[in-house]
Every structure is written in C-alpha cells, then in structure tokens.
Amino acid sequence: MTSTQSQEIPARTVEKPAPTEGARTASKSQLSAEKLPLEAFAKLPFIEMIELSPNGQYFAGVFGVKGEQRILISPLNFDRTKIKMLPIPDETEISRIRWINDDNILISMYGLTRVFDDRWYISRIFGVNRKTGEFTKLLTRQTGQNAAQVIWTPSDGSAEILAAGQGSIYSDEDEFWPGVFRVNVETGKQKRVLKGKQYVTRWGADGSGNVRFGLGYNDRNQTSRLLYAKEGSRAFRTVDKADLGEEESLDVPFYFVPGTDNGWMIRDNAEGKSVIMEHNIATGEDVRTVYENPDSDVIRVKMSHDRSKLLGVRLNAKDNDFEWLDPKVKQAQEVLDEAATNANARIVSLSRDQTKMLVRIGTADNPGLIYFYDHAKGNLSKLASVNEAIGDRRLARAKYVQYEARDGLEIEGVLTLPRGRVAKDLPFIVLPHGGPWSHDSLSYDYWAQFLANMGYAVLQPNFRGSTGYGQAFVKKGQGQMGFAMQDDISDGVRWAVDQGIANPDRVCIMGASYGGYAAMWGIAKDPDQYRCAIAISGVAALRREVNDFGGSIRENLYRKQWRRMTPDFRAVSPLYAIDRIKAPLLLVHGKKDVTVDHGQSSKMYKAMKKAGKAVDFVSLEKADHYFTREADRMALLQSIENFLLTHNPPD
C-alpha cells in the first residue's frame, strides 16, 4: 500500500502535493495540458467509504491495494504495525462501513446467491476488531434472505447492537418475518429481543435502543402500515397506512423526542415541500416544523453520534448540497470552504464530539485529496490523494449547460471539454447516467475525464426522470422510458451540434447500467445520429425490472412501478430492435456483476452477430458491476479506447 503521510498545515491553506517523479521540471501549465496515460484513469481510488472512529484517532474504509479493493482499518499516521486489512468476499458488494465503538467496525454486505433455480440478493453483517483484525460473522443463526438490518448502534462505547434478520426463506414460516436481536459485534453472541410479526419487514429504534416502530407490507395489495409502540412498551398498534401502489408513502420517524410520542420525520408540508416535521405519532398530528429550506427539499439527515442532535441535512439540489445546522460544524465548514480555494470541501465523517473530521477536497477536474481536520486545534492534515497517479493535476474543465428538449422541457447536463482544443466541431460522446433515478453533477467522473483526455467533448445529460431537480421532474419520466427520456439524450446531441461544439458526423453514445441500455436503445431509436455505441453492464431486454426481482417481497409493487415507466417493455428493448441498428456496438460486462446479469450483454451479442451487425463483446471473468478491480478497469478503458480509435477516432 502506498500513502501520503499525514502532515499538519495551516487551516486556511490547502497544501499542493509534490509533482510526480517524471514531472519535476515541468511547469504547471504543462502539467495541466499534457495527456495522461490510460493507466492513470484506471487506477482504483486510494480510499472510498471512509469513516472516522468515534474518538477521531482511526479510520476505516475501502482501499485500493495492489489493484484490488480491501477493507482497511488504520491509525491516522498509517502506522503499518497497526493497520488491519481484509479481503472483500468474492461476488459481494459492501453497502456500508460504520464504527460501533473505538475498537470495532460493522460491515454491511450483499451479493447474489443461487437459491433453487433462481438467484437472490442475500445481505449479511460482519464485525471487525481493529486491534486483532478478527472478522466475525453476525446473526449466523438467521438463514433468511436479509440478515443485515441494523436498527441501533451504541454511543457509550459498548459492543452490542440491535439488528433484525430473517430466519427462513419460506414465507409460510414464522421465522420468515424478521425478528430483532441484540448482537455483540466482537463475540457474535445474539439474543432475540422481539419476535417477528407477520408482514412486518422493517423495525426501528429510538436513541436508547428501544424498538419503537415497525413497517408492515402486504404485496397482494401493495399496502404498507406503520406500527408504533410508546416509550417503554412492547405493545405495537397500527397508526398509519399507505397504498404504495398508488404512490402514497409512509412518514417514518428518524428521531424520537424522549418522554413523548413525538418523532421527527421528513415529510411534505401543506405546500408539498419536504421538510423536517415534529409529529405526534400516537395522534397523527403535526407539532412543529423543525427545519425547512426555502429552495430545496430535505432528502436525508445527519445526526450526532448519540443521535440526540440534528447536525445537518442533505438537500435534493443538483449538487447534492449539504447544509450544516450545528454551529460548531457549520463554522468548521466555513473555514474549510475558505481554505479550499476554487474547490469543493466536503466533510465526510465526524468524531463523536464533532471536532475531528475527515474531509474530501476536490473538483470536477481532479479526483481530490483526503484531509484530516482538527477544528479545535485549527490543523488541516493531508492523508492521501484519491488518485496518486493524477495528484493535483487539473484535467478537463466541466460546466453545467442547459438546453431545451423537443417538447420544451429544460434539461441540464454536464459538459466536459478537452484541454488544448477549441470547442468547435469536436468529436463527441454523450454519456447518459445509470439509475435511471440518479443524476450527474460537477464532481470528478473518471470516465468523462478519460474520454476528454483522448480528445472528446463529453455531455452527461440529466434527462427527465433524473433526481436532483425535484419530484415533479422525476415523475416526468413515468411512461417515458425509451421515449421522451431517450429523446432528451438525443436532443442534447442536437444542441451540441447547433452550438457548433459537436461534429454531427463524429458522435457516439456510451453508458453503463441504465446508461448502457440508453446506449443500445439510442442506436436503435435514432440509428442515423450515432457513429457508434458502447454499452457497459447494460440492459438489453427489459422485463420486470433492470434487475430481475422474482421472489421479492415487493415483487408486485416493483412490477407496477416499472410498468409506470414504459407501457411496453418489449417495444423499447434493444434486443428486439436489432434490425434498426446501423452503428457498431461494443458490449462490456463482468461475469460477477450482481446488479445487471451478464446474460443481458451475452444475449445482445449473440443476436447482433446472428443479424450480421457489427458488434464486439468484452466479457470479463472477474469484473463486478462497478469494476472494483484495477485490472478490470484497465481492460474496460482499453476496450473503449480501441473501439473509439477504430470507429470514431478523436483526431
């Protein structure tokens, strides 16, 4: 493992890392303009999902080590004698890492497992001790599909958590419905504190570790209900219901006011704006508005370590804006903003007393740096570059652009332009995001930067149905998958051509997951617009959902939700429109993808070959959905580079 040793610097300046060995005599302008090798973009992020220990002395996260991801626990000074490193189990994804106390972390994982003749998502939790590196499986007696629902963690330094898990995969057995257990993360010992209830799929607790609510769901009628118990009681009663099939929703408390029936929840006010409301759960009456933003909806909250205080909120703005409400943290953010000139400083993790912080400082044209900030002392210490091969180089500049779709709807996107080239008549790549319930913003994107480094202009359109622009914009995607959602992407290309940025004869479309679907569907729906297409982990045949969810507890609900997205799956599936495709297609897919089945690309390849269409297929034996091995990222980028040089060269 390589790292940059921590070093203290004044809090109001941000240290620039030293240039790499091969660039010590180059000027800053030369470093900015020169092209980087493909390997620089394929390099795994040095650290992701980073979390600071409650005492602020250690951190844990997913590290790129020798080309593969590892779970790593380390002191801030990277003392190798105290570092603990563990492999990530094959064919699994880590959904979260969190500290339980100063000595133990909790890891939530999921993966696809063969069950009978189908593949199911299975979720589990594990404890890791930072002193011994011992890996402890938790809820081992729970053999159901989901045994990873953490509903409460301690704030007093103890090692016991509350977690819910299923004990069976058979819905006609009592153990199918998750019970709640007190689990020791060091020993793995468990004790049931609440037996499962029929149709209750989720439980929640207050700050003291008392189970206070349950969420029930019946897929036959897509109805959900909220069960509530008063403080100190185990008597649950239904206090609210919602028809999820008709897009109603339940408001669920994230904080309970001690000694009362009041809870704080994110819910819509009378004007339809999502705010934080104090609500009497027993009576169903609103008590007061705790927080609202005049311009944006609240989508997430950040509580203090002991869950007694609201520290901040995440808003649904396009840049994932975070507003700190705690005065101490807000002041720290202001200091960091002043230090990070022309860059974005984001606090990613806090100590229990909110004085020590892990901070990521980055821009759309640089992967960023990770810092440790001690607000009490005023010291900002660099831990590492996210990508040491790029360091502090400023790559291609990105900016927001707006254009009008053919029906008049305003669409926003991110435009990245190659350095050293006039923004006129450029070879062009349109890069729709995955999801589709997601969005692109002005943050570092290694694919966009790789393409710009080759010489392409890149547009990442936030088509209708994307998040970040309000719920009304999301709902505009309903019924429009394969139709107006795709037109928004094509209209972005036409805008770039009209602006003189893009050469209309040198346009390709590329994307992953839903973006891979959009790439394949783009060359079928608009066959004369694109010179080539690249679909990475893409969906060729829409059925019940992008991920097949047969057997899911919410199977009927998910079917209904996806039927709202398009009236006819087959009519907008690339696999059934191959006769309309003219452009050559590159398919890239990992065999260990647990999000979109490898068979989607395999079927598309076989059908394209049978029809005599130009198609290449790069099937990667060990790659997952996110290409978390450096070797797979190398293979991915090399295949993209070779394909583009053949079918749409940048020069």
3-state secondary structure 262-317: EEEEEEECCCCCEEEEEEECCCCEEEEEEECCCCCCEEEEEECCCCCCEEEEEECC
481: nearest Cα among 548, 542, 547: 542
Q: How many CB atoms are closer than 10 A to CB 196?
A: 23
pLDDT above 90: residue 499: yes
Q: How many CB atoms are closer than 10 A to CB 143?
A: 14
Q: What is the pLDDT of residue 562?
A: 75
Q: How far from 63 is each of 3, 71, 101, 629, CA to CA, in Å?
A: 11, 6, 21, 11
Query: With bands split at pLDDT 50, 70 and 90, how would you rate the model's confidence at 333?
Result: very high
Separation between Cα atoms, residue 612 and residue 80, nearest integer Å: 56
Contact predicate 547/111, CB 8 Å: no
Contact predicate 342/326, CB 8 Å: no
520: nearest Cα among 545, 541, 491, 547: 541
The C-alpha angle with vertex 403 and arms to 462 and 444, in degrees rounded to 5, equals 40
Express each pLDDT in 95-145 by its tens digit: 999 999 999 999 999 887 777 777 778 899 999 999 999 999 999 999 998
Separation between Cα atoms, residue 195 and residue 207, nearest integer Å: 21
Contact predicate 537/513, CB 8 Å: yes
Separation between Cα atoms, residue 110 and residue 624, nearest integer Å: 13
Percentage above 70 pLDDT, the chain: 93
Separation between Cα atoms, residue 481 and residue 468, nearest integer Å: 18
pLDDT above 80: residue 150: yes
Q: What is the pLDDT of residue 320?
A: 63
Q: What is the pLDDT of residue 249?
A: 85
pLDDT above 90: residue 520: yes
Express each pLDDT in 33-80 by its tens digit: 578 999 999 998 888 899 999 999 999 999 988 888 899 999 999 998
Centroid of chain to Cα 610: 37
Q: How far from 646 is each of 490, 531, 586, CA to CA, in Å?
A: 23, 11, 11
Packing angle between helix 630-647 and helix 446-454, nearest 10 degrees?
Answer: 40
pLDDT above 90: residue 321: no
Average pLDDT rounded to a whole number, residues 587-613 = 93
Separation between Cα atoms, residue 54 and residue 352, nearest integer Å: 5
> The tokens of 501 are what?
């940025």
Separation between Cα atoms, residue 398 and residue 30, nearest integer Å: 19
593: nearest Cα among 530, 532, 636: 636
Separation between Cα atoms, residue 218 and residue 243, nearest integer Å: 10
Express each pLDDT in 411-423 by its tens digit: 999 999 999 999 9
Express each pLDDT in 603-634 by its tens digit: 999 999 999 999 999 999 989 898 988 999 99
Separation between Cα atoms, residue 23 and residue 32, nearest integer Å: 11
Q: What is the pLDDT of residue 351?
A: 97
Q: In what order do the strands lie in the sheet with 298-303?
A: 298-303, 310-315, 322-324
Contact predicate 104/130, CB 8 Å: yes
pTM: 0.84
> The tokens of 284 are what?
């169903």
Name the more confident of 179 and 172. Answer: 179
Separation between Cα atoms, residue 514 and residue 530, nearest integer Å: 18
> Which residues are paired to 73 by β-bridges?
60, 84
What type of residue is 499? Answer: Q
Q: What is the pLDDT of residue 319?
A: 67
Contact predicate 608/580, CB 8 Å: no
Question: Concatenated DSSP letters for 330-390?
Answer: HHHHHHHHHHSTTSEEEEEEE-TTSSEEEEEEEETTEEEEEEEEETTTTEEEEEEES-TTT
Average pLDDT rounded to a whole number, residues 596-608 = 94
Q: Which helix (H) or strand (E) holds 555?
A: helix 555-565
* Cis bond before residue 436 (omega within 30° of 0): yes
3-state secondary structure of 88: coil
Calculate the average pLDDT of the chain. Answer: 89
Contact predicate 633/439, CB 8 Å: no
Token pair 């989720």 is found at 202
Listed as own residue / partner, the contacts of 472-478 with beta carbons closer than 8 Å and 24 or more positions apart are 474/437, 476/409, 477/436, 477/565, 478/564, 478/565
pLDDT above 80: residue 189: yes
Query: With bands split at pLDDT 50, 70 and 90, how would you rate the model's confidence at 165?
Result: very high
Separation between Cα atoms, residue 451 and residue 154, nearest integer Å: 46
> Which residues are paired to 182 by β-bridges?
162, 191
410: nearest Cα among 402, 422, 421: 402
Average pLDDT rounded to a whole number, residues 175-199 = 96
Q: What is the pLDDT of residue 244?
A: 83
Express each pLDDT in 339-369 by its tens digit: 888 889 999 999 999 999 999 998 999 999 9
Contact predicate 553/465, CB 8 Å: no
Percentage above 90 pLDDT, the chain: 71
186: nearest Cα among 140, 224, 249, 134: 134
> Which residues are paired to 633 by β-bridges?
none
> The tokens of 593 are what?
């993808």
Express each pLDDT in 291-312 by its tens digit: 999 888 898 999 999 999 999 9
β 457-462/532-536 pair status? unpaired
> The tokens of 566 are what?
């398009």
